[in-house]
Chains A and B, each alone.
Chain A
Amino acid sequence: MEPADEALCARVARRDEAAFELLVSRYQERAYRLAWSILRNAEDARDVSQEAFIRLYETAGSFQGRSKFSTWFYRILVNLCLDHKRKHKWWKLWVRDDDEERSETILDRQPAPANDPVDKLSREETLKALGSAVDRLAPRQRAAVLLRVQEDMATYDIARVLKCSEATVRVHLHRALATLKKTVEKR
């Protein structure tokens, strides 16, 4: 039977390198994908997600098991992403170096082709507009949406990751989705 994340974290606190490797293997893809979804830059996402693993290694002893390991780790990761965005905000105003490949690959990610090409085109354009609208959301709203949609996290867990109340998460989600809804309705 595979050891639980929480047990592995306890072993990492005792500097068990094998346990650390196993946790990295389990979470590397999710961590990188979430970081990329927030930062929209592959290199930044790689750096920030790796930094999250280093923090995990350094602070594993402070994990007390009051929440799930994933919630605790995502809190580290999301905080690093939000800090990164805050620090680089002024720079992004001048140079937009976000990945461009998203707009190129969006067609490849779609479900099986629809029968009506016009419908298909319209859907692709709507999804593209929706993706751009997600990018423009306020950072915490965006984080709440991504944790809900990509990580399928419950409101309770999102609240623990963002260190706020469940009511606040509900407001973040409601406002974010209201904004996104307007984007879809405009089209």
Chain B
Amino acid sequence: MARHPDDDLVPYLRGELPPAERERVARHLEECPDCKEDTEVLRDLLGNLSHAIGQPPTVNWARYRAELREKLDARRERIVWWRRPMPLTLSASLAGVVLLVAVWGSRQISPNGEPIGPDEVVMGQELGLLQDLRTVERLDLLEDFEVLRNLDGLAAEHQG
């Protein structure tokens, strides 16, 4: 006996199969009591399913359409806002700000020509160090400050 046409039974019941396939399934069902029984069970099952699935809670369709209209309008407004051409003055102002930032950024170069990283700029601004760059450059000279202060103390003791 040919293989059981399991996947074809639902299309067979709905009359969807092309004539040759339909003929093949019908012939099989005549010879195979199991598949014939399956087909009957499937027929009942499909009939019962629409009752089993049931119906959703009722809806006020006028309100449904009003809500839909509101949602659609809100969506269109959002799209319009994004696509709206910017006023000329606002565009020019924005372009000016971008240009200023670009120029200012390019000037943040140290005297020896090495670019200063953004983190260094931020830290420098917070500490106010860049305002006195020459002092900062000579910080290594102050590393001995502790020693000098101790020396002063030693000198005072010596004098005392």
| Chain B interface residue bracket vs A | 20 to 34
In the complex the two chains form, is B56's CB within 8 Å of A33's CB? yes
A and B contact pairs by CB, cutoff 8 A, 29 listed: A21-B65, A24-B68, A25-B61, A32-B64, A42-B57, A54-B68, A54-B71, A101-B57, A106-B54, A109-B55, A127-B48, A127-B52, A128-B52, A130-B45, A134-B49, A150-B50, A155-B16, A171-B7, A174-B6, A174-B7, A177-B10, A177-B42, A177-B45, A177-B46, A180-B45, A181-B38, A181-B41, A181-B42, A184-B41
Q: Is the interface of A mostly helix, strand, loop or mixed?
A: helix
In the complex the two chains form, is B57's CB within 8 Å of A130's CB? no
- Cα A134 to Cα B46 with chains together (Å): 12
Chain B 24-37 against A: per-residue CB contact (8 Å), 1 yes, 0 no? Answer: 00000000000000
Q: How far is the CB of A64 from chain B (nearest CB, A)?
A: 23
- A167 — which chain B residues lie within 8 A by C-beta? 7
Other CB < 8 Å A-B pairs besides A105-B54, A170-B11, A177-B46, 10 of them?
A29-B61, A36-B56, A50-B67, A106-B54, A131-B52, A170-B7, A174-B6, A177-B10, A181-B38, A181-B42
A140 at the interface (CB under 8 A from B): no
Interface on A for B, CB 8 Å cutoff?
21, 24-25, 28-29, 32-33, 36-37, 42, 45-46, 50-51, 53-54, 57-58, 99, 101-102, 105-106, 109-111, 126-128, 130-131, 134, 145-146, 148-150, 154-156, 167, 170-171, 173-174, 177-178, 180-181, 184
| Neighbour of A155 across the interface among B11, B54, B57, B65, CB < 8 A | B11
In the complex the two chains form, is A42's CB within 8 Å of B56's CB? yes
- B16 — which chain A residues lie within 8 A by C-beta? 154-156
- Cα A116 to Cα B6 with chains together (Å): 34
